[in-house]
Amino acid sequence: MPKLFTKAMKKDYTIIAPTMLPIHFGMIKKVLASYGYHLEFYEGDTGAMIHEGLKNVHNDLCYPAILVIGQLMAALKSGKYDPHKTALMITQTGGGCRASNYIHLLRKALKKSGYEDVPVISVNMSRLERHPGFKLTPVLVGKCVLAMWYGDLIMWISNQCKPYETVKGTTQAVIDRWVNELAELSGTPKFLKTTQVARQILKEFDAIPKKMVQRVKVGIVGEIYVKYAPMGNNHLEDFLIQEDAEVVMAGLSDFMMYSFSNKKIDHDLYGHKGFSIIATQIGYKFLHHMQKKMIHCIERYSPFRPPTDFEKVKEMASSFMGIGIKMGEGWLLTAEMLELIESGVENVICAQPFGCLPNHIVGKGMMRKLKETYPESNIVAIDYDPSSAKVNQENRIKLMLANGLENIHLKNA
């Protein structure tokens, strides 16, 4: 029986969770702090984390499993935390991939290393596990969803600023200011006034001095962890900006809408029933409503390019492949590549863990058909695992960027 995180532990335990999206998680951390949870994201030596991961996870498993478990185990062994006053946190969705299996791998690693008394909190919406000391109340979930929405907005807009800023670091300063500001606002009614706050955010990013130059636009798709986590993709976004490229990457809410859509797909294809179908449809409609609000705010209050409506993304997927393909990132990964190419972002990096079979099928496996349909597309699949040399990854990306730049010159000729 796994050790539970009790109500008594909440007061003086530190909860360590894996990192993925710095902007989003920075806000969620402070939202949870207002509810009495002491959440931390351990930022240690990446080499030590990989070493711990490989020591505790078989290397046939995917790279995100190695990194996530390695990060949490390295944190416990760092000496920074008291193991008797520390809990770990990890998501668990009930799917057939990483989101379900990591928690069991983590508990096995804890037992092997003599930390079996460290509680592991399962964050899930499927009642897979319950911990008396950690409650996802409707209000708390709502605030975390809004933090995700603001995070998506800031990430989407800042990626349209960083490659063009006149003074390096100006965009990051605005990001940091708004992450702190929104964290403070999360306990006030103003946090709920999304249109008003979004207008202020857009105004501040718009005011950043920028160069009038043309950059190669590069879309990033792939397995959710290596797509978003700087540690998982060797700081891919920073590298692309350093190479004078503009990053285009869909927000986390798109993945959430994809997950909710799959419940409806299960109902339509297999006759699945139950309250979860109704609940996820309500969740989907709310997230889609919020996405449309973001699109409206960007179009009305700024010169920035808005994201694509998720309904259109779903439509693209269904015209290209069966939407019953939903293991891992499933049809969403292919749909995101389609959406990028059709919106003019012809250069696409498909970031995938070497051992991730589902994403090799819907990512690398769909590249030939995509290139046949869109001959102008410039797609490269980059595998990430402990043995991959960063210089080789970057050289392949540089070649893709060179091709992208040549295509721009040909179009402008």
Q: Which residue bears the tokens 């983590």?
A: 106
Can you say whether residue 344 is alpha, beta or left, with left for phi > 0 and alpha for psi between -120 and 50 degrees?
left
**What is this structure's pTM?**
0.93
Mapping DSSP onto H, E and C, the string for 309-343 reads CHHHHHHHHHCCCCCCCCCCCHHHHHHHHHHHHHC
Can you say whether residue 127 is alpha, beta or left, with left for phi > 0 and alpha for psi between -120 and 50 degrees?
left
Position 162 in a domain: no
> Are 243 and 372 part of one and the same domain?
yes
Cβ contacts of 228 within 8 Å, gap of 6 or more: 20, 21, 249, 252
Position 351 in a domain: yes
Position 41 in a domain: yes
What pLDDT, on the 0 to 100 scale, is given for residue 58?
82
> Are 29 and 122 part of one and the same domain?
yes
What pLDDT, on the 0 to 100 scale, is given for residue 305?
97
Question: How far apart are alpha carbons 102 and 3 in whole angstroms?
Answer: 16
What pLDDT, on the 0 to 100 scale, is given for residue 100?
67
Q: For 265-287, what is each residue's pLDDT tens digit?
A: 888 888 777 777 888 899 999 99
What pLDDT, on the 0 to 100 scale, is given for residue 52?
94
Mapping DSSP onto H, E and C, the string for the chain reads CCCCCCHHHHCCCEEECCCCCHHHHHHHHHHHHCCCCEEECCCCCHHHHHHHHHHHCCCCCCHHHHHHHHHHHHHHHCCCCCHHHEEEEEECCCCCCHHHHHHHHHHHHHHHCCCCCCCEEEECCCCCCCECCECCCHHHHHHHHHHHHHHHHHHHHHCCCHHHECCCCHHHHHHHHHHHHHHHHCCCHHHHCHHHHHHHHHHHHHCCCECCCCCEEEEEEECHHHHHCCCCCCCHHHHHHHCCEEEECCCHHHHHHHHHHHHHHHHHHHCCCCHHHHHHHHHHHHHHHHHHHHHHHHHHHCCCCCCCCHHHHHHHHHCCCCCCCCCCCHHHHHHHHHHHHHCCCCEEEEEEECCCHHHHHHCHHHHHHHHHHCCCCEEEEEEECCCCCHHHHHHHHHHHHHHHHHHHHHHHC
- Burial label for 166, CB within 10 Å (0-12, 13-18, 19+), is exposed
CATH of the domain at 388: 3.40.50
> Are 227 and 358 part of one and the same domain?
yes
Position 110 in a domain: yes
When divided into structural domains, the chain yields a total of 2
> Are 246 and 360 part of one and the same domain?
yes
pLDDT of residue 98 exceeding 80, the answer is: no
> Are 17 and 116 part of one and the same domain?
yes
Question: How far apart are alpha carbons 262 and 286 in whole angstroms?
Answer: 16
Q: How large is the average pLDDT for residues 111-134?
A: 85
Report the mean per-residue pLDDT for the chain: 91
What pLDDT, on the 0 to 100 scale, is given for residue 128?
67
Asked which of 134, 155, 187 is the last residue of a domain, the reply is 134
> Are 120 and 220 part of one and the same domain?
no
Q: For 301-351, what is each residue's pLDDT tens digit?
A: 999 999 999 999 999 988 888 888 888 889 999 999 999 999 999 999 999
Position 281 in a domain: no
Confidence of residue 410 (pLDDT cuts 50, 70, 90): confident
> Are 238 and 113 part of one and the same domain?
no
Question: How far apart are alpha carbons 326 and 265 in whole angstroms?
Answer: 9
Position 168 in a domain: no
Domain span at residue 397? 214-250+307-413
Q: How large is the average pLDDT for residues 71-81?
A: 95
What pLDDT, on the 0 to 100 scale, is given for residue 127?
64
Does residue 116 contact residue 86 with C-beta atoms inside 8 Å? no
Asked which of 86, 103, 134 is the last residue of a domain, the reply is 134
Asked which of 113, 134, 155 is the last residue of a domain, the reply is 134
Q: Of the ranges 41-45, 48-52, 266-270, 395-399, which one carries the lowest mean pLDDT score?
A: 266-270
Position 268 in a domain: no
Position 207 in a domain: no
> Are 87 and 229 part of one and the same domain?
no
Name the phi and psi angles at 218, rounded to 5. Answer: -125, 120
Q: Of the ranges 81-95, 139-153, 161-175, which one carries the lowest mean pLDDT score?
A: 81-95
- Bridge partners of 210, per DSSP, are 165
Q: At what angle do helices 310-318 and 252-270 cross, to 10 degrees?
A: 50
* Greatest Cα-to-Cα distance within the chain, rounded to the nearest angstrom: 69
Cβ contacts of 79 within 8 Å, gap of 6 or more: none
Q: For 190-235, what is each residue's pLDDT tens digit?
A: 999 999 999 999 999 999 999 999 999 999 999 999 999 999 999 9
> Are 86 and 223 part of one and the same domain?
no
Q: Which one, of 135, 145, 66, lies nearest residue 106 by Cα?
A: 66
Question: How far apart are alpha carbons 349 and 341 in whole angstroms?
Answer: 12
Question: How far apart are alpha carbons 122 and 100 in whole angstroms?
Answer: 10
- Bridge partners of 219, per DSSP, are 248, 348
